[in-house]
C-alpha cells in the first residue's frame, strides 16, 4: 500500500484498497484470520478518520468504496470457505486450577496485593467475556460500590 495513501482521492483509495484486500497476507504468506482481516480494515478507517488526517470519509460505509468493499466481502467469503473464520479460543481454566488460585492465597482478601489480583481476576472473568476488547470499555461508573455491613 502506498505510504502516502492518506492523500489519495476516494476513487484512487478505493482501487488501492481493492487490490490490498485481495493480496494482503501474513509473514508466512498465508491469508489472515477473519478477525485480523476485519481489524486491519477498521484500523485503516480509524487512521484516516482520526488526527492528523481527520478525513470525513468512511472506507466501510461510503458508496465511493463499493469496489473495495465488494472485494473485502469476497475475501471474507474465501476465508470462511478455507476455514480461517474460526476464532481460536484459549482453553477454559480448569476447576482444579481455580481452586488452587483460591486455596494458595493468590486470590484472597488477606493482603493488598492478593486483593488486587482477586478483584482484577473477578472483573476479568465476569465482565470481559470477549477478552481485552470489552475490558477496555469498563469505567468506574460501570460499577456500584457498596460497603458490607
Interior/surface letters 134-145, b for 16+ CB within 10 angstroms, e for the rest? eeeeeeeeeeee
> Residue 52: its pLDDT value, please?
92
- Domains identified in the chain, total number: 2
Average pLDDT for residues 65-80, to the nearest whole number? 95
- Over residues 42-52, mean pLDDT: 95
In whole angstroms, give the CA distance from residue 78 to residue 75.
5
pLDDT of residue 128: 75
Whether 88 is covered by a domain: the verdict is: no
- The reply to whether 89 falls in a domain is no
Which uninterrupted H or E stretch holds 50?
none
- Bigger pLDDT: 138 vs 102: 102
Q: Is residue 90 part of a domain?
A: no
Q: How many CB atoms lie within 10 A of CB 59?
A: 23
Tell me: do 13 and 75 sit in the same domain: yes
Confidence of residue 145 (pLDDT cuts 50, 70, 90): confident
Q: Do 11 and 50 fall into the same domain? A: yes
Burial of 30 (0-12, 13-18, 19+ CB in 10 A): exposed
pTM comes to 0.60
Domain residue limits at 124:
95-142
* 87 within domain boundaries: no
pLDDT digits (tens, 9 = 90+) for 96-123: 999 999 899 999 999 999 999 999 899 8
For the chain, first and last CA: distance in Å? 61
Amino acid at each position: 500500500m502506498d505510504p502516502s495513501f492518506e492523500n489519495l482521492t476516494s476513487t484512487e483509495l478505493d482501487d488501492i484498497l481493492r487490490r490490498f484486500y485481495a493480496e494482503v497476507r501474513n509473514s508466512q504468506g498465508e491469508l489472515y484470520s477473519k478477525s485480523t482481516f476485519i481489524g486491519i480494515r477498521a484500523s485503516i478507517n480509524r487512521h484516516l478518520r482520526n488526527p492528523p488526517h481527520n478525513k470525513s470519509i468512511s472506507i466501510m460505509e461510503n458508496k465511493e468504496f463499493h469496489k473495495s468493499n465488494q472485494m473485502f466481502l469476497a475475501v471474507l467469503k474465501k476465508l470462511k470457505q478455507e476455514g480461517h473464520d474460526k476464532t481460536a479460543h484459549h482453553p477454559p481454566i480448569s476447576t482444579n486450577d481455580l481452586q488452587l488460585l483460591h486455596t494458595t492465597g493468590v486470590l484472597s482478601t488477606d493482603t493488598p496485593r492478593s486483593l488486587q489480583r482477586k478483584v482484577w481476576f473477578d472483573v476479568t472473568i465476569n465482565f470481559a467475556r470477549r477478552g481485552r476488547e470489552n475490558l477496555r470499555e469498563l469505567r468506574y461508573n460501570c460499577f456500584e460500590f457498596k460497603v458490607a455491613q
